Structure 1
Amino acid sequence: MQSSSLTRYEQQDALGVAMTVVIGFEGSANKIGVGIVRDGEVLSNPRRTYITPPGQGFLPSETAKHHRSVILTVVREALDEAELSPADIDCVAYTKGPGMGAPLVTVALVARTLAQLWGKPLLGVNHCIGHIEMGRLITQANNPTVLYVSGGNTQVVAFSERRYRIFGETIDIAVGNCLDRFARVIKISNDPSPGYNIEQMAKKGTEYVELPYTVKGMDVSFSGVLSYIEEAAHKMLSSGQCTAEDLCFSLQETLFSMLVEITERAMAHCGSQEVLIVGGVGCNLRLQEMMGIMCKERGAKLFATDERFCIDNGAMIAQAGWEMFRSGYVTELPDSWITQR
């Protein structure tokens, strides 16, 4: 029997326990995703990406316009792929923040509207927690030290005293933002993402260019590295001292070494034997390789996911929403706002 023929709260597992279905809306940056999760099972997870020409970033207003143009189509895809109807949904979850203001507002508006049309409870979800909960679901990591690396965030997070706590973070720009801005300098394509294209170019790099390495206790700083390599790119590329591939290779090695260092320090502090990498930059295989070497030396385990769940997606919001909803949380309509921080 297809689940779409069952009404709300009538979907049951083999033991007769009522199952909970949550639809999640993600749109904090240039990706708009809608995912549906049923008790730890991802039923659907379609996504669209707003891609700009090489050398350009994405403006909040233009990104929001893109999201408005496709979001209802993505909602329909999610429901069709999951073989569900709105009657089967138990809760509507959306990204409350952090993220870019205009895209967040667009997604929140759609989520609020559908929740009222469908007569379902609403839940505002922390984007960062969404990444972590999705990573834990997919990898089955138990209680890991989490490295959360994306275009807007860089944090080392661990669960301590019944709360997620930040043990280290960037003090200026995120690692993904650093990579993206360097990609604009050397005019790397944004399709499918600048970080992915830097990763592919880095594989062809042979010469390491010395770059600033800035670790301050448990925190890192990337703005100085970016300024240095931007200047180096203009000088060294024009003079033929190195190739663009060499610079991509050098940038990755430097940034990722810094991230591995603070992650290991957090592991030692927490007594952890597991590392989970989440966020869009977490798809990078070189980062996973470097972290894996560190974990092997410590006798620890590394957990990571691929681009389906690492990059911003709706299922991660649905999963975090599922955890919250089952714990009794609901966002009342007057509180269903967004925050960029």
Structure 2
Amino acid sequence: VNPANYSQVTGFVLLGLSQVWELRFLFFIVFSVMYLMTTTGNLLIVAIVTSDPRLHTTMYFLLGNLSLLDFCYSSITAPRMLVDLLAGNPIISFGGCLTQLFFFHFIGGIKVFLLTVMAYDRYVAISQPLRYMLIMNQTVCGLLMAASWVGGFIHSIVQVRLIIQPPFCGPDKLDNFHCDVPQLIKLACTDTSVLELLMVSNNGLIVFSGPDVFSGAPRILHSTASHAPKPFSGGQQQGLSTCASHIAVVTLIFVPCIYIYARPFQTFPMDKLVSVLYTMVTPMLNPAFYTLRNKEVIMAMKKLWRRQKDLLGPLKH
């Protein structure tokens, strides 16, 4: 059959997480609370890092960027999902689906590259503390951040460019709560084996940069172990704490991404649960990972809270 004779699908029905109204309402309550916590936690970190001059360092600059990206990443899917949970089986236009897919992979790609930069930053801080300010200066940090944005943009453009090639003539039911490559490519009414291979390769290049993030951990442990007889400085202790938090965050991000994207695009029972994990749960937990054991952030948070109380005090009277 000639693909030119296909009638192009103009929209997709998002099947979401469940067709049972009671479950959808329960999901709405749970995910509304999670999205509120994600928004509050990540924007609070951005405000703290921006307002406290003591946190104007490379490590906290990268942490602030990660929090901003987490807020944007969850906002790409969560608000629409919350509305759809109450609306039933909503329809998203083909253009709207591609737009959501672009920004989803754009922000997600930036996060992956940024996590790699953060791992390198912690490795330098622990292994070469005396040369840290020379190696990770503002220029280098800015260039690495810009490279992360460029890398995320290229990754996302490639995904969109590949997904618009095959014709979509039906069915039009997308078995997910947001538009993503694995579910969308299966609705194409032509052979997509080559496209799937290209997409898996593209996603694999991104998600398998994770080993580079993990590889810094043994080096840091070896570096600190070689200085075991000496007490760690405050900066080294802070770096180790941040490194442990970073490994936990990377695990929660890369493992689900490898499960979803670095394999053939087939449907498995755990797919939606894993999608919820990296779109909703991980962005909510990141602020806790990076603040609960970080004394500098906690002190800055208390300082910001006291400042707000001082500003609101006269207004109450």
TM category (shorter chain) comes to 0.3 to 0.5
Specify which structure has the higher proportion of strand: 1
Q: Which has the higher helix share?
A: 2
TM-score, normalised via structure 1 length: 0.31
Larger Rg, first or second structure (1 or 2): 2
TM-score (norm 2): 0.33
